[in-house]
Amino acid sequence: MSMLERAEAAERAMSEELDRTIVKSVIYVSGDRDPRVPLTRPDNGKLVMMGQDPRLPRMPERPTLFDFFKYRFGPANHLMQSARLAQKNGVAEKLVLACLLHDIGIAGFIRGDHGYWAAQMLEPYVDEEVAWAIRYHQALRFFADESVGYAYPKMYVKLFGADYQPDPYIQRDYQYAREHKWYMSARLICINDLYAFDPTVQVQLEEFTDVVGRHFRQPKEGLGWDASPSAHMWRTIMMPTKYL
């Protein structure tokens, strides 16, 4: 039995202990398996999952941004380090928020194109410049700007190889952002991101309560339950195994 087969067997055993059947969406398993092969729902007589997964911490009735950090996002010390560094560097407060949120796509949703995903998630709730900066940090981080102290990250050479070239759409968006009035807003995310990977530095989310309170429009219904164009993305993070 392969490692993947053992993992799937363990997961099936765990799922069988629930009173609801878990069926993963195609994107969760694509790559480990061919997405063209149908996913079959086990015929076990159980109903499918149509709400919050009991294997996860239950989200509050009206979730806030901080609730997602606490109950659904992965370790976020890097984001908080980045935001604190931005504060120390005298960055405008709304861009401190951008630093705090720039990688929430990775922390809670999808790694690939995470800047674009995060910007789309956040657009209804933050200043337009904040969403723009988060969107275009995705492209800018692949291009050095020594004039403002941003070198190409050595980590990228280790991760992608010395001869890696960004995809054409990334190069296109870099050129667009380079000439935009908010170029430095996105670049400041990259600058404060690059130097915020110190495992010995611990930051508390509550340090940013006032920043979030002033610059994040929390819906009264709770994130995911409002009618914004991106509410469904927050619901997906809240209920990642919901069948339909």
pLDDT tens track for 58-75: 999 999 999 999 999 998
| Position 82 in a domain | yes
Using the 8-state DSSP alphabet, how is residue 30 labeled?
B
Shared-domain flag, residues 71 and 140: yes
* C-alpha to C-alpha distances, 5 to 27, 31, 40, 42, 132, nearest whole angstrom: 18, 14, 16, 16, 42
pLDDT of residue 4: 56
Shared-domain flag, residues 79 and 182: yes
Considering only residues 21 and 13, tell me which one the structure prediction assigns the higher pLDDT: 21
Residue 49: band (very low, low, confident or very high) from pLDDT cuts 50, 70, 90:
confident
| Position 241 in a domain | no
Q: Could you tell me the pTM of the whole model?
A: 0.89
**pLDDT score of 6 more than 80:** no
Q: Range of 139's domain?
A: 65-236
| Position 243 in a domain | no
Residue 2: band (very low, low, confident or very high) from pLDDT cuts 50, 70, 90:
low
Shared-domain flag, residues 169 and 198: yes
DSSP state string for 187-209: HHHHHHHHT---TT----GGGGH
Shared-domain flag, residues 34 and 79: no
Shared-domain flag, residues 22 and 132: no
Number of folded domains that form the chain: 2
Shared-domain flag, residues 15 and 104: no
| Position 55 in a domain | no
**CATH code: domain of residue 139:** 1.10.3210
Shared-domain flag, residues 7 and 114: no
| Position 54 in a domain | no
| Position 232 in a domain | yes
